Structures are given as structure tokens and as C-alpha cells.
Chains A and B, each alone.
Chain A
Amino acid sequence: MSEKAMRPRKVDPLDFLEVDALLTDEELLIRDTVRQFVADRVLPDIGDWFEDGVFPKELAKEMAAMGLLGMHLDGYGCAGTNSVSYGLACTELEYGDSGVRSFVSVQGSLAMFPIWAFGSEEQKQDWLPRMAAGEVIGCFGLTEADSGSDPGSMRTRARRDGDDWVLNGSKMWITSGNIADVAVVWAQTDEGIRGFIVPTDTKGFTANLIHKKLSLRASVTSELVLDDVRLPGDAVLPDVVGLKGPLSCLNEARFGILFGAVGAARACYEAALSYAGERRQFDVPIASFQLTQRKLVEMLIGINRGMLVAVHLGRKKDDGTLDPTHVSFGKLDNVRMALQVAREARSVLGANGITLEYPVVRHMNNLESVYTYEGTNEIHTLILGQAITGINAFS
């Protein structure tokens, strides 16, 4: 039996398991490009954006210029990268802020993806190039005030009126709603749930900004109201009927989240590691204390494990062997991990951990939203429970 000797190596505290070695040059260059963009354009101002409660809309065109919007889609002006690259971009964006990553997830995975996957050729030609260029901002209307984990109970309805469709209802917690030029809205019809492309300047469409958020403050969150919104017959997405339409979009977005959460966690871990080395109490850096070291090591393990899961699932997506239940596994565990890391990092930073001078409390608050949106921890648990027992606990 041959055995390679295990030698002590110099470790990188920021890539402990050398996950970079699992990535291609092309993936690393895309990752590094987004990392540079976030360092240049997001990190200097994100604390102020969060405090002021604004999403810097001008970022959209800058991100579009790189190819970030709909980057994993083919054709129609999209970059057409692989899924791992898309995931890595989400990691870097969320290292900046979950709100910035949410914008990109919604544009690419929730608004562009359904048009790309279920739209007619005319719809694709009409919308996708402008959305990839950041000229048209999209949002995704599925959740309602009384219809969250159970989207099938939605009350928004579309009825036929001659050749037209007429939509009535409202949607809640809609990212980018107030800055969107187009909304992909899901509604009950006589045939089942269907998707509609709704220009936001259509008569009867209103977006109301949701104020007083303490999470995702650098992101626009809205209520959409549809009051006799009349759309031409060709506004419906022709190629999907039923919940599988919106759920397939959510799977795309959740895939980005399971990568993204690792970025938020890494930002918190880096802040805590650096702070623990500099902050002195009892004449020594607090990193000297066993209790602090344990916190840092738990963060390290969680982040490296999360990144390995993410890259593995990315490879499976690229080779066509990814199951939606795998995505549930990644979303559930990586977001849970990131929230734990953020809370531990907050405790390492003491009082400094609650200010926007450091990224930690911002990520901690953001991750509270990421923990429940795009499928709560509980729903993903039940999806996994069903997958391994064969028993559906939902109903």
C-alpha cells in the first residue's frame, strides 16, 4: 500500500481547506472580479446604505456591465457561465451584503429565469437582453400576506376577459418591487397557477414600500397591489402551469443563497478573527482565551464545511445531477451556519459588534431574513424529512 506522507503545511485561515484548489482558473477569475467589485463599490458605503435604508440602484448597470445579471443563463445577452461561477459570485456579493446579493438573485433567478425557462421566444427577445443589461429591473410576485410557506393557497387571481387577462390580488415581501420595471406575478387561473409578465406601469398596478425593516435595509422590499390589471393574452408564460413554475424559480434562487450565506459568514468570521487578534484585555489579545478560540474555530469549521457543500452542489448542478432536495440541504444548513457564525462573531466584538462600523450586526440582521425567505428552515427540514422517509409531513 502506498501512502503519501502527511506533512505540516502553512494554513490559510481564510481558505483553510484550500477549497480554491477545487475551482478552475475561469471560476477563480470570475470570483476575484466580483470580489474586487464588492471591495470597490459595496464595502465603502454599505454601512451608510444600510443605516439610510437605501438600495443604490446605480449598482444595477455596473453589475450588468460585468455580466452579473442572469449570468448563468444562455443567450439573450446573458453571460452563460456555469453554476459554480454563479454561486461564487453570490458568495462574494453576500460577503458585501445580503441585500445586494438578493437584488442579483431576484433579477437573475426569479425574474429572468422564468421568462428564460417558460417564456415564448417573443417574450425572451423582448425582455431578457434589457434585463441582462440592467436597463429593466425585475421582481417576482409569489408570496402574499397570508400565503407564505403554502403558496398554493394564494388568493391573487387572473381571469380571462376576451383575449385579455385581468389580475386582482396583492403580493407581499417583494424584493425590488418599488424599483422594478417588470414583475413576474403568479396567480390562480381556471387551469391552475400561471405566471404573468406585468410591466409595472400597467394601469391598476401599485407598489408600496415596506418601511421600518431592521433587516435587509440596503434592499427594496414592497407590497404589490393588482387592481383590475388588464394584460394582453400574450402576457402569460406559455410553457408552465402549476406550482412547479414558481418553485423551479425558487430552486434557482436558493442555489445562489446556499453559496451566498457562506460569504456573509466569511465576512463575520474575518471581522471576528481580526478583532480578536487586536483587542487586548487583561494585557493579552482576546484571541489568547480558550473561549474565544473555540468561537473562532467553530466559525472556521462551519464556513469551510458550508463552502465544500456549496461547491459540491454547484458541480452537481453543472453535471445535471442536482435534486431540489439537495438544494434544501444546502440552503437549510448554510444559512443556519451563517446565522450562528454572525451571532458568535457579534459576541467576540462585544459592544463594537453592534455598530455599523463593523459588518457583523448588519449581516446578523440580514441573515434573519435569509433564514426564513426562499423556504424557511422548517419547510426545508420537512422537504428533507419527506425525501428520506417517504412521508409528507405537510399535509
Chain B
Amino acid sequence: MKIAVCAKQIPDPATPYQLDPTTHYVVRPNDQVLDDTDRYGIEVGLQLAAAAGDASVTVFSMSPSGSLQGIRQALAMGADKAVIVDDAGLRGADALTTARILAAAIEREGFDVVIAGTESTDGYTGVVPQQIAELLGVPSLTFARKIDRHGDGIRIERQTSNGYDVVDANPPLLISVTSGAVEPRYPTFKGIMQAKSKPVETVTAADLGVEVAAGQSIAAVEPVPARQAGEIVTDEGDAFERIVALLEQVKVI
């Protein structure tokens, strides 16, 4: 079974993000970390691979050049190899471009199961997994909170606002995994030491035969408006009237 896991390196969330004043893109430092939400997808990939026996897990990432600290972490957790698409032309790529790139890289490698997080912690578009599935022409099992093998296929529980759906599909397919679906393993020290000798292939958009044409650009970035001062209601026995009126005004009751 060939398992492809999409992972993203992002600026360390512990440090404030900076935006380029002209392009409004996130300024990416040389040292980026593995997006925490991707640890769940990697764990699911490793568990499926272990259950399948003869299986490989390949990490796919569209990442600017720099240190591959985050990708090394994925390899240290147990992934077998990584394919990095590093192309200056992809800077600030929109979601569809990202999906095209990742789908092309995954298709070139071959796959049975594609796994991704539901959304990245820095971009939050939340559409890339579904777009990859469409581009690859495979079913997308999205927002999985539980993933099991089911016969020859995969069964997931799709998180919904009211509960969950049980969804089955046979490979090839794509799963998007919610944070908390599994307990991601810690990389082992042996894994960390072996990670540096695992293959990391770097390719460009041209290598994948994808023509980069951004469909959107960010015109402006505005800060969240400052919060208005609240109203202090002093209770002189009739405060409830004012509070009920306020709640009705914001249509809570």
C-alpha cells in the first residue's frame, strides 16, 4: 500500500507572524516547524502502513527552501521518504495552485491512500484536501475523527456539527484528518538519527509539469477592529430588563 501524507512547514506559532507589506504573504523564516495539525495525518499514515504490512509512507510538502526541520520530524516519526516541491514561483501560491502541485507530485509517485490535515495553521483555507481529491479523481473522506480499515477499504467517522457520519470507501481515496483523531507518537531518538539518511527529493513545478498561474492575490490585510467598550449595567432591581433587551437586540433570545 502506498500512502501519501501531505504536510506543511510553517513559521513557529510561538513567534509572532510577520506579513510582507507589499505582497501580504507571511514572511517565512529559514527555520520552520511541522504544522502541528499534520502530526495527526502522519500518525494515521503510519498506523495504516503498520496494519497493511507491506506499505510505504511518503510525505509531500510544498515548501520554500530553508531548513527541513519540520520534514525531518515527519521522517523521524517513521515516514519513509519525502518529496518537497521547492519553487520560487510558488511563493504565496493560492489554495488551488497548492492542490495542483501536491496532486501532481502524489500522482507522479503513485498512491493508494492520500492523507492530509483538515486545514493548515497558518493559511486556514481548509480546501486543499478536497481539491487534491478532485484533481486525482478519488473520493474524499473528509473531517475524519476516527479511521479504521474496513474489509478492503477504509471506514471513517466524519465529524459533523450534530454528530458524525460513517463513511466507507475503497482505495484509491483521500482522508482529511481532524486534530485529535489519533495520538501522534513522539519521534524516537533512533528515528531522529535515521531521519537524516532517509531520501528527500526536491522538485520544481516544471518537473511536475504544472504551470503556475496564481488565480488570486491578496489586495489588503486589515487588522481585527478593536473591541468596543462594553456596557456596564448597574443592578438596582431592574437590571434584568436591560439585559433581556440587549439579548433580544443581538437576537440571542
Contact = CB atoms under 8 A, between A and B. Distances in A.
B67 A25 contact: yes
A387 interface: no
Interface string B144-173: 000000000000000000000000000000
Contact of A36 (B186, B189, B193, B196): B186
B187 interface: yes
B72 A29 contact: yes
Interface stretch (A62-70, A171-179, A263-271, A342-350): A62-70
A28 B31 CA distance: 12
A67 B189 contact: yes
Given A25-B67, A26-B196, A67 B190 contact: yes
A215 B56 CA distance: 49
Contacts of B73: 29
B188 A79 contact: yes
A300 B69 CA distance: 27
Contacts of A65: 185-186, 188
Contacts of A26: 192-193, 195-196
Interface in A25-84: 25-26, 28-30, 33, 36-37, 65-68, 71, 79-81
A36 B67 CA distance: 20
A79 B186 contact: no
Interface in A143-180: none
Contact of A29 (B76, B185, B190): B76
A85 interface: yes
A33 B67 CA distance: 17
Nearest to B192: A29
Contacts of B189: 30, 33, 66-68, 71, 79, 81, 85
Contacts of B188: 65-67, 79
Given A26-B193, A26-B196, A81-B193, A33 B186 contact: yes
Nearest to A67: B189
Contact of A37 (B69, B186, B193, B195): B186
A384 B76 CA distance: 41
A28 B12 CA distance: 14
A30 B72 CA distance: 11
Interface of B: 67, 69, 72-73, 76, 185-190, 192-193, 195-196
A37 to B, nearest CB: 6
Instruction: Classify chain A's interface size.
Output: 10 to 19
Contact of B187 (A29, A68, A80): A29
Contacts of A71: 189
Nearest to B33: A32
Contacts of A68: 189
Nearest to B187: A33
A25 B195 CA distance: 11
15 contacts: A25-B69, A25-B72, A25-B196, A26-B195, A26-B196, A28-B69, A29-B192, A30-B192, A33-B192, A68-B189, A71-B189, A79-B188, A79-B193, A80-B190, A81-B189
Nearest to B69: A25
Contacts of B186: 33, 36-37, 65-66
Contacts of A30: 189, 192
Contacts of B192: 26, 29-30, 33
A65 B78 CA distance: 13
Interface in A169-221: none
Nearest to B77: A33
Contacts of B69: 25, 28-29
B34 to A, nearest CB: 10
Nearest to B185: A65
B38 to A, nearest CB: 14
What are the 5 closest A-B residue pairs judged by CB atoms, nearest first? Answer: A67-B189, A79-B189, A67-B188, A29-B192, A66-B186
Nearest to B68: A25
A10 to B, nearest CB: 10
A79 B76 contact: no
Nearest to B191: A67
Nearest to A34: B186
Nearest to B14: A14
A68 B186 CA distance: 12
Contacts of B76: 29, 33
A37 B67 CA distance: 23
Contacts of A85: 189
A85 B188 CA distance: 13
A79 B190 CA distance: 5
A67 B28 CA distance: 32
Nearest to B196: A26
B173 to A, nearest CB: 31
A65 B189 CA distance: 9
A36 B183 CA distance: 13
A36 B190 CA distance: 17
Give the most central of B67, B76, B186, B188: most A CB within 10 Å. Answer: B186
Given A26-B192, A33-B189, A79-B190, 8 more contacts: A28-B69, A30-B192, A33-B192, A66-B188, A67-B189, A67-B190, A79-B193, A85-B189
A36 to B, nearest CB: 7
A66 B195 CA distance: 14
A263 to B, nearest CB: 18
Interface in A88-140: none
B32 to A, nearest CB: 12
A81 B191 CA distance: 11
